[in-house]
Amino acid sequence: MTDPTVEDLLERVREGDVRLHELDDHVDAGTAATVRRRLVADESGADLDVVGEYAFDAAAADPNIDNMIGGVQVPLGVAGPVAVDGGAFDGDRYLPMATTEGALVASVNRGCSVIDAAGGATARVTKSGMTRAPVFRVADVAEAEALVEWVRDNEDRLREAAESTTSHGELLGVTPYVVGNNVYLRFRFDTKDAMGMNMVTIATGEACDVVEAETDAELVALSGNLCSDKKPAAVNAVEGRGRSVTADVEIPREVVEERLHTTPVAIAEINTRKNHVGSAKAGSLGFNAHVANAVAAMFLATGQDAAQVVEGSNAITTAEATADGDLYVSVSIASLEVGTVGGGTKLPTQAAGLDVLGVRGGGDPAGSNADALAEAIAVGALAGELSLLAALGSRHLASAHADLGR
């Protein structure tokens, strides 16, 4: 029997005989995408030819996209190279950044060149652990207390159940929270080189089965929002989620004056009045200028989950003029959720981004590549903070974007 043609399938979808998402059952993934693209183009009047010019294998992208019609391209640039002394990321590297914001890569590039002139940045992952927090219904607070005690006494059983679903993930701990007749169990896992959301969701589900079998608690939702994934949340800023990572640098005063056209004292003052006082008044969780910019651009370039830029912007920038008149700057990102295996990291253009950093795939030891990626992103964020604070000091923000961004 011959394969159905695009025209045949278009007709069958229009007649309601085949659903849009069932096309892959009838033809290969690329042809299925073509049929959907044709249908959407016909019905919306949009010209989608360019959307069909994608460079990856549609079948290989199956774990990443449903109802695929093509691909979106984002321009890719590089900042650097920049010297980094990291716990896992070492040497002089280019930082890949995908963005549509003109002047952004230029800004991070300037920051990198200043960091380099100062001898490089230092970066360390200080805490690591991906979380999932199911919510259970209990009868009352007495039953809640009983559940909390049971969890404390039976963590090994929960660990055994959770770890039966993964050869890499390790349960680090379970923290209970009680609110009336709701009990939230915040499971925290070492997910090695994976960002880990699929891994910990599957593992936590297995542990929840044990809780339900052994206690009176009833699972209401596998994610009870105390995790907290893809929402701004203080719990992530305080407790961390994914990688907590810090990068810092001390820059000689002459370098600040020559290359950034301002002074250490001016940068420190802007940082305090803008990033700390201004953010406090705004009720912000991000005490920084634009950490989200480096996080988003490097997430897109390396196949991370873009929605987790929300947590990636949970960052505090500090800046101080030292006793010698130089400038100390740091960026601490509390909850940077990154992986070098799984998710979007296998797609060819994103894998190439990881290759530029030298962190593709599983690390040796496991987890070291994801640590290195976190440190690279923190250095990119540090470079961006430096350059933007300086541009505000020299009053170049508007002119830079007028020149480079429109």
Ligand X SMILES: CC(C)(COP(=O)([O-])OP(=O)([O-])OC[C@H]1O[C@@H](n2cnc3c(N)ncnc32)[C@H](O)[C@@H]1OP(=O)([O-])[O-])[C@@H](O)C(=O)NCCC(=O)NCCSC(=O)C[C@@](C)(O)CC(=O)[O-]
Question: To the nearest whole angstrom, how small is the minimum distance from the Cβ of residue 307 to ligand NDP?
Answer: 7
7 flagged as catalytic: no
The answer to whether the beta carbons of residues 174 and 150 sit under 8 Å apart is: no
Question: To the nearest whole angstrom, how small is the minimum distance from the Cβ of residue 314 to ligand X?
Answer: 16
Q: Which does 193 bind (CB under 5 to 8 A by kind): ligand X, ligand NDP, none?
A: ligand NDP
Out of 80, 86, 343, 393, the only residue in the binding site for ligand NDP (CB under 6 A) is 343
Q: Toward ligand NDP, which CB reaches closer, 221 or 280? A: 221
Half-sphere exposure of 325 (CA within 13 A, CB side): 6
Position closest to ligand NDP via CB: 342
CA 36, chain centre distance (Å): 30
Give how far Cα 180 sits from Cα of 135, 147, 208, 391, Å: 12, 13, 20, 50
User: For residue 197, which of 174, 218, 223 has the smallest C-alpha distance?
Assistant: 223
Q: Which does 109 bind (CB under 5 to 8 A by kind): ligand NDP, ligand X, none?
A: ligand X
Question: To the nearest whole angstrom, how small is the minimum distance from the Cβ of residue 243 to ligand X?
Answer: 23
Out of 113, 154, 228, 335, the only residue in the binding site for ligand X (CB under 6 A) is 113
The answer to whether the beta carbons of residues 36 and 8 sit under 8 Å apart is: no
Q: Which residues pair with 95 in a beta bridge?
A: 79
219 binds ligand NDP (CB under 6 A): no
Out of 107, 201, 204, 288, the only residue in the binding site for ligand NDP (CB under 6 A) is 201
Q: Toward ligand NDP, which CB reaches closer, 168 or 259? A: 168
Site for ligand X in 276-335 (CB under 6 A): 289-290, 293
| Selected catalytic residue, list 101, 170, 250, 326 | 101
For the record, the structure tokens of 150 come out as: 């049971």
101 flagged as catalytic: yes
Site for ligand X in 84-103 (CB under 6 A): 101, 103
Site for ligand X in 165-204 (CB under 6 A): none
> 38-67 burial, b if ≥16 CB within 10 A, otherwise e?
bbbbeeeeeebeebeebeeebeebeeeeee
For the record, the structure tokens of 126 come out as: 């200080």
193 flagged as catalytic: no
Burial label for 238, CB within 10 Å (0-12, 13-18, 19+), is exposed
Which residues, including other chains, have CB under 8 Å from residue 80's CB and lie 6 or more apart? 92, 93, 94, 95, 109, 112, 116
- What phi and psi values does residue 325 have, to the nearest 5 degrees? 90, 10
Out of 167, 281, 323, 406, the only residue in the binding site for ligand NDP (CB under 6 A) is 167
Q: Which does 396 bind (CB under 5 to 8 A by kind): ligand X, ligand NDP, none?
A: ligand X
Give how far Cα 265 sits from Cα of 213, 270, 405, Å: 61, 9, 29
Question: To the nearest whole angstrom, how small is the minimum distance from the Cβ of residue 352 to ligand X?
Answer: 20
What are the residue numbers of the active site?
A: 101, 305, 401
Residues forming the site for ligand NDP (CB under 6 A): 166-169, 191-199, 201, 229, 305, 339, 341-343, 362, 366
Residues forming the site for ligand X (CB under 6 A): 101, 103-107, 109-110, 113, 289-290, 293, 387-388, 391, 396-397, 400, 404
